[in-house]
Structure 1
Amino acid sequence: MSPNAAPTRYRGDLARAFGRPLLNAEIRRSPDDFQVTEELGFAPSGDGEHDVLWVRKSGANTQWVARQLARHAGVHERDVGYCGLKDRHAVTLQWFSARRPNRDGTRWDTFAAEGVEIVDVQRNARKLRRGAHSGNRFRVALRADAIEQLQESMQERASHISATGIPNYFGEQRFGRNGQNLDLAEQVFAGKRVRRELRGFAISAARAFLFNAILSDRVAASNWNHLLRGERANLDGTGSVFSVDELTADLHARCDEQDIHPTGTLWGDGAPKSTLEVAELEQAVVKKFPMLADGLCAARIDADSRPLRARVADFSVSTNAGAIWLEFRLAKGAYATAVLREIADYESFNRT
């Protein structure tokens, strides 16, 4: 990667909001150490053309599971839907759908795939689409020495995070192994032709990189969780945004209560989405990375907004079996690793 892309910034030198990490820790020593439960946010309709499957998987990625389900049902892969990609090196519960208009010919109780179990089957009128879920619950183990001595400080940090939220960074998995998707983005923007799927990974990595850079700059300036003039404010838990041209006491209060959040631009054609003071701040950051910014605009990827802050709900800390266990809920699109990095300097045991 060229110096233009500042490779370590995809993880290592992003500003932290709560000071130094409390410990050095290891995550994902086994799949059980990283547990994810997807929350659909609505009840399946009970009828319609699609089977909706509640699936537990371990050591398997979402796309591979979708292919196995399609093969078992005898349908095309495009007829299998899911809400989001879940970690491979984890135990996850998530929803899939499979189009079966006649309900004939498929017995899900005979489905067999390594590391995959179908827990429940319901019917729904529509295929599950990406982003259809409301959020995810996490249970994550941090494995470290002398964990008993950290209990009080961990509780204090968790309370602070619950009250304030976290910087809504994209996780390092967005950038591929060792940031390779950023390398690919530079190659794509330089004219290299790649498969559509790989091009999508590259563009997503470039947008995430620029967003993280904008957010890191605001964390360093201690205004990532405050509204500024020219902000596009996001209503918590929704995709709704509105422009903030004038700051009021009511808007500040709503922001402090995490009812609304500042946003940053997901770069692309028409960027920045912000105006006034915020637009100036964002442009000052992004101009440091012209290949990525210009490449996204030239690719005619529409600019969008993403909350700079994520609410961390139902946050609890406990110790058991030689580990500190963190439990919390995040809205869709937020990364558990964004929570972890505000607590620990961590390494993942399984990097393959």
Structure 2
Amino acid sequence: MSELFPRIYPHVDVLLEAELKSTEEDFQVTEMLPFTPSGTGSHYWFFIEKRGLNTQEVAKRLAQLAGIPVRDVGYAGMKDRHAITRQSFSVPVQAGTTPDWLSLESENLHFLEMTRHDRKLRRGVLKGNHFRLVLRHCQGEPALWETRLQHLQKTGFPNYFGAQRFGHRNLQEVSRLLSGTARKMDRHQRGLLLSAARSALFNQVLAERVRQNNWNVLLAGEIVQLNGSHSIFLAQANEQENLQQRSAEWDVHPSGPLPGRGGLSPENQAALVEKQALDALPEESETLGNIRHWPQQLAAQDVDAARRALRARPDSLQYHWQDASTLILEFSLPAGVFATSCIEALLGHEQVRADRLDLCVD
């Protein structure tokens, strides 16, 4: 079991079918930072292209060559192993050492840029990601594909965490961690598991909003998130009309919970929907324990509560047919949004399973 329940998408009259990630070249991701390194400072900054390697493996190689703990290597987000990905890393300059960085070059790892900056690259310091995807064996009339792509760009898609976030047995390990019976693990592994738990609970709430067909509108008592920001606020009744207009303009979004301690809580209808979704979780699961207790157990792990937009949409979408059954897509997504969820919304159904993927693309 990789996830709690399937991701569901808004109803479409015709389901589309295609094959994603036939090869690493079919799934290409390029990270977009919100600024450009200064060129001077106490940290090396690298823009690296990798394939067949996940982010942590590259960080370990950089750390080993530099003779530093891997925790000192900076990167903005995790990237999939089974893809061609381009992302930035930072390594602190060690006095008296000049590592031969190019000695790490291989058929799976290439340095595209090397520069310096005055500080470490921190997690989450990311504008977004640009994707080039190849969909093969597409079934359906090209005109229908193009209509759906135009609709997707206009109305967006449910902002699910993709199957990558859950791995093969992450949620089973989560249950052990939250119950205090987990094996010893390092900080990185613990963080991945806690993130998987919060992502699963968010997806459960979002799926309920999709079922009720209110995932892309503001409900009474909604916790509203500003577009392109982590800033949130409680929607007041006297602001509802204005907020609905801002939502239509994609200036604000409805949000769902990333459970933990503290934080704002929704009210009225929005609170009821979240409660319904989380109360639908089983009290006892053979493999996952009492999932209903996960929000309280996450708070006990000193994880701070947060919110995530329920919807997203592709930016700068371009597409063309390579041949009658091969569609090439290019688009950008905000940080933390999964391209696989975008493609599933295009198809109209869940398609990507965790056993085909490795890590999240943040």
Following superposition, the deviation at residue 221 of structure 1 comes to: 1.1
How high is the TM-score relative to the length of structure 2?
Answer: 0.87
Match of 2:163 among 159, 165, 172: 172
Q: Distance in 1 between matches of 2:207 and 2:144?
A: 24
Task: After TM superposition, give the deviation of residue 69 of structure 1 in Å.
Answer: 1.5
3-state SS, counterpart of residue 141 of structure 2:
helix
- Report the Cα offset of residue 27 of structure 1: 1.5
Distance 1:351 1:45, change over 3 A: closer
Residue 322 of structure 2 contacts residue 328 of structure 2 at CA under 8 Å; is this kept in 1?
Answer: yes
Tell me how far 1:199 sits from its aligned partner. Answer: 3.0
**Greater displacement, 95-104 / 82-91:** 95-104
Query: How big is the shift at 1:75?
Result: 2.8
TM-score by length of 1: 0.90
Residue of structure 1 equivalent to 2:92: 99
**Which runs of 5 or more structure 2 residues have no equivalent in the other structure?**
282-291
The answer on whether the counterparts of 2:3 and 2:166 sit within 8 Å (CA) in structure 1 is no
The answer to whether the Cα contact below 8 Å between 1:266 and 1:305 also exists between their aligned partners in 2 is yes
- Whether the 8 Å contact between 2:173 and 2:182 is mirrored in structure 1 is no
- Give yes or no for contact 1:54–1:93 (8 Å, CA) kept in 2: yes
Report percent identity of matched pairs: 37
1:326 CA drift (Å): 1.9
1:53 aligns to what SS in structure 2? strand
Secondary structure (helix, strand or coil) at the match of 1:47 reads coil
The structural deviation recorded for 1:60 is 0.8
Q: What is the DSSP-based 3-state SS (H/G/I as helix, E as strand, rest coil) of the residue aligned with 1:209?
A: helix
Residues 163-202 of structure 1 mapped to structure 2, 5 A cutoff: 163-177=154-168, 180-194=169-183, 195-196=185-186, 197-202=188-193
Alignment of 1:297 onto 2:269: no
Q: Is 1:342 equivalent to 2:345 in the alignment? A: yes
Name the CA shift for 1:185/1:104 in 2 (closer, same or farther; >3 Å).
closer
Give the superposed CA RMSD: 2.2
2:228 corresponds to which of 228, 237, 262:
237
**Structure 1 pair 8–305 and aligned structure 2 pair: CA distance change class (3 A):** closer
2: CA distance between counterparts of 1:103 and 1:320?
A: 52
Residue 345 of structure 2 aligns to a residue in which SS?
Answer: coil
Partner of 2:276: 284
| Secondary structure, aligned partner of 2:333 | strand
Choose from 246, 252, 255 the match for 2:247: 255
Aligned to 1:317: 319
Contact 2:223-2:264 within 8 A present in 1 as well: no
Q: Report the Cα distance in structure 2 between the residues aligned to 1:50 and 1:169, rounded to whole angstroms.
A: 35
Mean CA deviation greater in 334-343 or 182-191: 182-191
Alpha-carbon distance, 1:101 to partner: 5.1
Match of 2:210 in 1: 219
* Inter-partner Cα distance in structure 2 for 1:121 and 1:21: 48
Q: Deviations over 1:115-138 (max 9, x none)?
A: 000011111111001111110011
**Does residue 154 of the first structure (1) align with residue 145 of the second (2)?**
yes
2:124 to 122, 131, 137: 131
Question: Secondary structure at the residue paired with 1:143?
Answer: strand
Match runs of 1:86-125 below 5 Å: 86-100=79-93, 102=95, 104-125=97-118
Q: How many angstroms does 1:145 deviate by?
A: 4.9
Letter in 1 for 2:317: F
The secondary structure found in structure 2 opposite 1:284 is helix
The DSSP-based 3-state class of the residue aligned with 2:85 is strand
Quote the residue 2:58 is aligned against.
Answer: 65
Aligned 8 A contact 1:29 1:350 in 2: no
Q: Deviations over 1:74-126 (max 9, x none)?
A: 33322211101001000011101111154841233343244000011111111
Q: CA deviation at 1:188?
A: 2.1
Distance 1:184 1:72 in 2: 32
Tell whether 2:42 aligns with 1:49.
yes
Q: Per the alignment, do residues 188 and 324 of structure 1 end up closer, same or farther by CA in structure 2, a change over 3 Å counting?
A: same
Deviations 1:46-91 (A, max 9, x none): 2110111010111111110111112223333222111010010000
Opposite residue 159 of structure 1, the aligned amino acid is: Q
Q: 2:27 aligns with which of 10, 34, 58?
A: 34
Q: 2:28, 2:13 → 1: CA distance?
A: 26
Q: In the alignment, is the contact (CA less than 8 A) between 2:49 and 2:110 conserved in 1? A: yes
Within 1, Cα distance between the matches of 2:96 and 2:32?
25
Match of 2:219 in 1: 228
Give the aligned residue type for 1:328. Answer: F
Q: Structure 2 CA distance, aligned partners of 1:21 and 1:108?
A: 51
Closer, same or farther in 2 for the Cα pair 1:287/1:299, shift >3 Å?
Answer: farther
User: Contact 1:39–1:133 at 8 Å: present in 2 too?
Assistant: yes
When structure 1 is superposed on structure 2, of 210-219 and 299-308 the one drifting more is: 299-308
